């Protein structure tokens, strides 16, 4: 049986609404950042549905005992925002996962060669293999950044099957690369777009997510 990358595009009006806002080139920076926060929130909500380790137990209500399910506090939860653009999704993800550890990973691509280099790495030396990892990378374009991020994270012991990538716009090229290298991965994205232009930008896309989120 062959394992296949799972890519989910949640059919939710809030996700469609905020996607329309970030796509619109006339959206000002403050609203763009709000929209990214909301997309980070709702895609993390959708993406975490079957991802947590939970514990079934009982609680005493004021009236009687009843069953209850809690998030297992023994299993670490990690969020890895890919700096810069991934930071725009962080507030939304963090409100849902307030106890998650945040490990920043700074990747930049050369605009000419499209090669990726790492300028900041706050990942732990070793992940507990049970760690639930959420990677925040809004634009899955050529796949170079996310493949580099995956290499950095998996070589520290995290299991791709327990990861969720939260993206806003994904292009087929990045999904193909991820599917070849990490078939156990699961991705939640607001949309899958047609392709890339000659400069590696997603079309129709939303432009440079980092520049638009931070007004640069």
| List of residues contacting ligand URA (CB under 6 A) | 85, 139, 141, 201-202, 205, 208-210
Query: Which CB, 85 or 123, lies closer to ligand URA?
Result: 85
DSSP assignment letter at 145: H
Closest CA to 185 of 196, 207, 170, 204: 170
Nearer to ligand URA (CB atom), residue 139 or residue 158: 139
Minimum distance from residue 155 beta carbon to ligand URA (Å): 24
Q: How far is CA 149 from CA 66, 82, 103, 107, in A?
A: 43, 8, 12, 8
The overall longest dimension of the chain from CA atoms, in Å, is 67
CB of residue 2 vs ligand URA: minimum separation in angstroms?
A: 29
Q: Which is nearer to ligand URA, 36 or 209 (CB)?
A: 209
Please, what is the minimum distance in Å from the beta carbon of residue 72 to ligand URA? 35
Token code pair at residue 44: 């993390």
Is 85 or 97 the residue whose CB approaches ligand URA more closely? Answer: 85
- Distant-in-sequence, close-in-space partners of 156: CB < 8 Å, separation ≥ 6: 123, 124, 125, 126, 127
Name which of 35, 56, 38, 54 is nearest 46 in CA terms. 38
Nearest to residue 56, comparing CAs of 72, 45, 41? 72
CB of 84 to ligand URA, least distance (A): 9
Q: Which is nearer to ligand URA, 85 or 190 (CB)?
A: 85
Cβ 82 to ligand URA shortest distance, Å: 10
User: Of 79 and 202, which CB lies nearer to ligand URA in the complex structure?
Assistant: 202
Min. distance of Cβ 17 from ligand URA in angstroms?
21
Is beta strand 116-121 parallel, antiparallel or unpaired with respect to 105-109? antiparallel
Assign 3-class secondary structure to 67-78. Answer: EEEEECCCCCEE
Q: CB–CB of 188/10 below 8 Å? A: yes
């Amino acid at each position: 049986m062959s394992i296949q990358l799972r890519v989910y595009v949640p059919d939710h009006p809030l996700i469609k609404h905020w996607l329309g806002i970030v796509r619109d080139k006339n959206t000002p920076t403050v609203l763009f950042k709000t929209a990214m926060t909301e997309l980070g929130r709702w895609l993390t909500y959708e993406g975490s549905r079957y991802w947590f380790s939970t514990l079934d137990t009982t609680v005493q209500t004021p009236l009687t005992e009843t069953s209850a399910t809690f998030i297992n506090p023994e299993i670490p939860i990690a969020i890895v925002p890919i700096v810069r653009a991934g930071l725009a999704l962080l507030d939304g993800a963090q409100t849902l996962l307030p106890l998650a550890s945040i490990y920043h990973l700074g990747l930049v691509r050369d605009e000419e060669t499209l090669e990726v280099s790492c300028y900041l790495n706050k990942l732990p030396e070793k992940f507990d293999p049970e760690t639930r990892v959420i990677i925040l990378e809004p634009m899955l374009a050529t796949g170079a950044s996310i493949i580099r991020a995956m290499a950095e994270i998996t070589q520290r012991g995290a299991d791709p099957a327990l990861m969720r990538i939260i993206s806003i716009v994904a292009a087929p090229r990045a999904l193909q690369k991820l599917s070849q290298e990490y078939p156990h991965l699961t991705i939640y994205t607001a949309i899958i777009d047609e392709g890339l232009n000659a400069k590696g930008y997603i079309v129709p896309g939303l432009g440079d997510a980092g520049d638009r989120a931070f007004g640069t």
